[in-house]
Amino acid sequence: MRLKDTQKQLIRLTVLLLMALAAASQALPGCPDSCGNVSIPYPFGIGHSSIDKKNCFLEEPLELTCTDSALFQGNVQILNISLAGKMDVLTFIARVCKNDLFGGVETYRTESYLRTPAFTISSEDNKFVSVGCDTYGYLNSFHNGTESSTGCLTRCNSLDSVESMQRSGNCTGIGCCQVDIPPGMKNISLQAYSFNNFNSTSDFNQCGFSFVVKNGNYTFSLDHFKSMPFNQSLTVIDWSVGNGTCDASMHRAGYACKSANSYCDDSPYEYGYRCKCNPGFDGNAYLLHGCQDIPECARNQHNCDSEDHCIETSGSFECFCPDGLIGNGTKEGGGCHPKQKADPFIKIVIGACVGLIALFIGVSWLYLMYQKRKVFKLKEKFFQQNGGIILRQQLSTREDSSQSTTIFSAEQLKKATNNFDESLIVGKGGYGTVFKGLLSNNKVVAIKKSKIVDQSQVEQFINEVIILSQINHRNVVKLLGCCLETEVPLLVYEFVNNGTLFDYLHKQGEVVNVSWKTRLRIATETAAALSYLHSAASIPIIHRDVKTANILLDETYIAKVSDFGASRLVPLDQTEIATIVQGTFGYLDPEYMQSSQLTEKSDVYSFGVVLVELLTGEKPFCFNRAEEKRSLTVHFLCSLKEDRLFDVLQVGILDEENKQELMEVAILAARCLRLTGEERPSMKEVAMELEGIKLTEKHPWINTSKNFLEGQYLLHEAQSSHEHGDSSSAQQNTGYDSLRALELIDIGNGR
């Protein structure tokens, strides 16, 4: 134990000796390190080194002289130099005094100077003072060819006035004034002046004085009016090295920061820089090995509970606890204390807790595995329940695999819709709800979540997937994929971001802005899509729910037919299919309602209603209208028969240029709305006629030979049964004059 204590004492003595040597070697080798009792740290120095004859100073402004044990820079005596960038010096005071000559009075002045840019008057450590009753003083600074000054003045007529204002030797402004010094004043001069050559204060004030003095080092006295007891005042100077910033100087040959554990700090006064030791190091950063590690443990500059528990590290220290003790070794942390033997009962309790924790983790893991397997089984169940096997078989038998249908996982679509957040709902229909979603590849999609379905509706859902997977048309919404792992099946479509045609016609604030040209184009595109479904698809498809709410519009108002939940495939050897009547009130084909025989002409009838909506801007059925106008198709056909077509057109779409087009589309709509399906045109014919009308609009010269007033259109006589029928469904869908007899209509001006 004594040997260890002896070793520790030797280590401490060695550290203290090294510290003393480092403190003593503040100058360059072979250079004087003091003058009198003032230490001279490099970069200051006197003369040349006795070893290599090099300068003992870094640069000329830092060259000092030692005369009679007094240290000078020029004519300024230096009392102390701090490596922190401060220096205590004695500066001369400036004075102005009166001189009696043969009964007259003259004044004489003396000034004080400190001319070097490396030295700056410290603004935080000094005050500028003027003393006298007829005195004003200046502190002048010369920098970059310009002069700036500060100062103060003091005037008083009698000694009594000064005595009444002065207390405890303070410089209050009467007889003695003082001001703060602006930062960065260099190349200074001090001046003192008299206002009236002391004429008004000649009895008690002979001189005036101005000087810079270190804070707290001057006490005013009335005796100073006659004579100042000193010729020089203690002043603090800021000093720096070089004449550029750290960044500009560190790559130059004369860069001053030599020590490995130092850093450069720009001078705050726009001249030069200073070298400082890193935190945890002390010494002279201007010398090669000047910054030494501070021995915090030896100097008791630590927070360890004992010096024996302190270890020196580079730039810092660490506290520790030796073997046999526990703790962190710091005073704040409770220090070090002996280890306590564990109680056997505590060991048993700890062992039991560890066992319970292990058991809990094991049971939790098993439960999670069970839940994961349960979820997997549930997904398999939903996949089969939602027709996944049927869909797989159907897709595998397709010859054209160019348009593959993606099978999405439930997690993918939950993430895309923020777990089906209601704020992302963009529409609701008879067969489900549509959400806006964002896939992981940043593709925006529409996700249709079907309503809870029973087993009988699975075929309908799979039907929509099979139908849409076969369709490739610019005016039919594109199916991207589906998900069958959830209780309700999900379909993923391309996102069409401009709403539905229904919204476009009925929910805008200014419906007049929906121009006839746009309406005609939308009608033509919709007809082309339906014609494609009926005629060009590999297996004919009947939509069975054509309406404006199922016609979507993209950002350029291109029409896209959507919602194929009610659609049916038509075998190539059949022209009609017996089904349960499905559709939307106001759009249903009356013949289909009566016979339950679904044909392509059922879509033609529904499209006729869409044309009437585009012409009139009215909804197909509305109880808020007069009784004879509740059914839009009845009111429209009656107006057409009575030559009042232009009365029912929406306000704002009729002009002299499109009158013929409006009448032609109206006649086409009437043909689509005929009671007997055989008398209706096919969707292919409808699409061609609408294209022809558009072509006439683009090239009016095509139809110049046609006399529009002589146009004849064949319409059917009205069915009397509908005029007197009391069935509400018949009133909606078939209660209008179908104009059975061939009849000529003179359209004239539409009145």
Coil/strand/helix, residue 22: helix
Distance CA 232, CA 94 (A): 9
Burial class for 438, CB neighbours closer than 10 Å (0-12, 13-18, 19+): middle
Does 641 appear as a known binding residue? no
Token readout for 447 is 């996700």
Distance CA 82, CA 562 (A): 86
Coil/strand/helix, residue 605: helix
Listed residue (591, 583, 565, 575) closest to 540, CA to CA:
575
Radius of gyration over alpha carbons of the chain, in Å?
A: 52
What are the residues whose beta carbons fall under 8 Å from the beta carbon of 68, sequence distance 6 or more? none
What are the residues whose beta carbons fall under 8 Å from the beta carbon of 96, sequence distance 6 or more? 107, 108, 109, 132, 135, 192, 193, 194, 207, 208
Look-up of token digits 């050897």: 573
Listed residue (532, 544, 688) closest to 607, CA to CA:
544
Coil/strand/helix, residue 582: coil
Distance CA 308, CA 298 (A): 10
Burial class for 523, CB neighbours closer than 10 Å (0-12, 13-18, 19+): buried
- CB of 566 within 8 A of CB of 431? yes
Listed residue (557, 530, 552) closest to 434, CA to CA:
552
Listed residue (91, 441, 92) closest to 237, CA to CA:
91
Distance CA 270, CA 184 (A): 8
- CB of 122 within 8 A of CB of 86? yes
What are the residues whose beta carbons fall under 8 Å from the beta carbon of 216, sequence distance 6 or more? none
- The answer to whether residue 308 is catalytic is no
Q: What share of the chain is helix, strand, coil (3-state, %, to 5)?
A: 35, 25, 40
Distance CA 138, CA 130 (A): 9
Q: Which amino acid is at 101?
A: L
What is the DSSP code (8-state) at residue 548? G
For 544, phi then psi, to 5°, come to 75, 0
Distance CA 736, CA 714 (A): 16
For residues 578-612, one letter each, b for 16 or more C-beta atoms within 10 angstroms of the residue's C-beta and e for the rest, the string is eeeebbbebbbbbbbbeeeebbbbbbbbbbbbbbb
The two counts, helices (H) then strands (E), for the chain are: 17, 37
Distance CA 464, CA 474 (A): 18
- CB of 27 within 8 A of CB of 56? yes
For residues 137-154, one letter each, b for 16 or more C-beta atoms within 10 angstroms of the residue's C-beta and e for the rest, the string is bbbbbebeeeeeeebbbb
Q: Where are the beta strands (DSSP E) in 479-569?
A: 479-483, 490-494, 541-542, 551-553, 559-561, 568-569
Alpha helices in 25-81 (DSSP H): none
Distance CA 333, CA 337 (A): 11
Out of 282, 293, 545, 589, the active site residue is 545
For 323, phi then psi, to 5°, come to -55, 140
Coil/strand/helix, residue 153: strand
- CB of 199 within 8 A of CB of 104? no
Annotated binding site for ATP: 449
Annotated binding site: 449
List residues with catalytic annotation: 545
